[in-house]
Amino acid sequence: MFTLNPRNEEGFFYLLVAMGGVVSAIGVAAALHMEHSGHVVTGMNNQFVWGLPHVVSIFLIIAASGVLNVASMGSVFGRTLYKSRGPLAGLLGIAMMTGGLAVIMLDLGRADRGIVAATHVNLTSVFGWNMILYPVFYGLVAVYLWTLMERRMNPWSKAAGLATFVWRVVLTSGTGSIFAFLVARQAYGTALLAPMFIVMSFSWGLAVFIPVQAAMYASRGETLPPLVHQRMKNLLATFIAAVLYLTAILHLANAYFAKNIAFEYFILFGSEFSGMFWIGQVLIGSLLPMALLFHPATRTRTLWLNVASLLVIVGAYFHLYVFIVGGQAFPLDIFPGYDVKSSFMDGAIDHYTASLPEILLSLGGLGITFTITLIGVRALNFMPHDDLAKLEAAGSVAD
């Protein structure tokens, strides 16, 4: 029978690091292959300019912002139960943001030209704003972690947490605005996307945090305290419901305008993306997790909380795939009210299939995130420590 002793634990750690490193290296090699061979080796074309790597990278970026909500609940809003979880939330935020940006930079091609964008910022472009949003995010989260983990800096943790909270809301709004300002496509071009991305970040970030936290507890032979389980279960269910509500509002608002009715029918009922929306996004990503979180037989068990969180993550990928890829599959209406004829697929619905290099690059981003998190948890004390008696005395039950 295999039991964990210090030697076994150390060997297992190096094995996981090696696996994460190999997956990351394969992702980089796939990006180099695409860089050398060109766009033709991907599943993208003139109509699909964003593919699977963008789906993965945007998920990681949104979740990186949202996972810091756990830290903000403790430092900014004074919820004692969440304070000990701030450092782990900060680590996950940095790890996921790094993995997401690595994928998106390598997928766009000519990552070396990033220095040009950084030194010649175009403030009239939403993409240009990212040259400010992401570096400041790293700086604020680093300072925030310092105030949380260095006893002498603890008095500054609330100020640092507030600055981080405000900036991550701004960053996620900027990510949503990239699509909100694309008025040429019926799938995008609505002000609802900025607040929707913020709420999605809350849900997806917490869904990532919960199983990572559970893995850390399990590695030490501990279980999640019932009080923590109850608070996080309720918070996750609230965020899931909020995302589902905003999704319904988004599609109802689009369907209200006659020009978008054809697109809404395409996404919801008349395409390959319809099944992904109803089964992947709505059923797997929303209804099943909420059922697990509220059903009497599963709501008190940590196993089902983790399962619900993983289902939310799966549903998030379906959500972004339908939104990003499905939004590009529908033909552009360049001149509303007129028939357009040319040699390029006018009015035709296109199809996208991710190529092997794109899949490997996407996995590479996840590998980078995994490796950074693993090394960070090993190197520093990110394990949450709960004084349950103190929490009860402080009234955290009424979180």
Amino acid at 380: L
Backbone angles phi, psi at 307, to 5 degrees: -60, -45
The pLDDT, as a whole number, for residue 91 is 93
What is the tens place of the pLDDT at every residue in 8-59? Answer: 677 888 899 999 999 999 999 999 999 888 888 998 888 888 899 999 999 9
Evaluate whether 39 touches 128 at the Cβ level (below 8 Å): no
Evaluate whether 41 touches 34 at the Cβ level (below 8 Å): yes
Amino acid at 4: L
Dist CA 30 CA 356 (whole Å): 8
What is the tens place of the pLDDT at every residue in 219-252? Answer: 878 888 888 888 899 999 999 999 999 999 999 9
pLDDT band at 343 (very low <50, low <70, confident <90, very high): low
| Beta carbons within 8 Å of 240's beta carbon, 6+ residues apart | 203, 285, 286, 289, 290, 293, 312
Say whether pLDDT at 304 is over 80. Answer: yes
Measured between its terminal Cα atoms, the distance across the chain in Å is 42
Measured CA to CA in angstroms, residue 34 lies from 29, 40, 359 at distances of 9, 8, 12
User: Is 180 buried (19+), middle (13-18) or exposed (0-12) by CB count in 10 A?
Assistant: buried
Higher pLDDT, 347 or 326: 326
pLDDT band at 388 (very low <50, low <70, confident <90, very high): low
Dist CA 307 CA 302 (whole Å): 9
Say whether pLDDT at 3 is over 50. Answer: no
Q: Which of 149, 152, 293, 331 has its CA nearest to residue 210?
A: 293
Higher pLDDT, 342 or 215: 215
What is the tens place of the pLDDT at every residue in 325-337? Answer: 998 888 877 666 6
User: CB atoms < 10 A from the CB of 173, how many?
Assistant: 19
Domain range annotation of the chain = 15-181+356-381, 184-334+347-352
Residue holding tokens 């009210």? 337
Backbone angles phi, psi at 93, to 5 degrees: -60, -45
Higher pLDDT, 56 or 398: 56
Following CA atoms 389, 391, 394, 396 in sequence, which dihedral angle do they give, to the nearest 10 degrees?
A: -140
Evaluate whether 195 touches 174 at the Cβ level (below 8 Å): no
Of the segments 222-226, 376-380, 388-392, which one has the largest average pLDDT value? Answer: 376-380
Q: Helix H segments across the chain?
A: 6-37, 52-75, 80-83, 86-108, 114-119, 126-149, 157-180, 193-219, 226-256, 261-268, 272-275, 288-294, 302-329, 356-379, 388-393
The pLDDT, as a whole number, for residue 123 is 80
Q: What integer is the mean pLDDT of 255-267?
A: 87
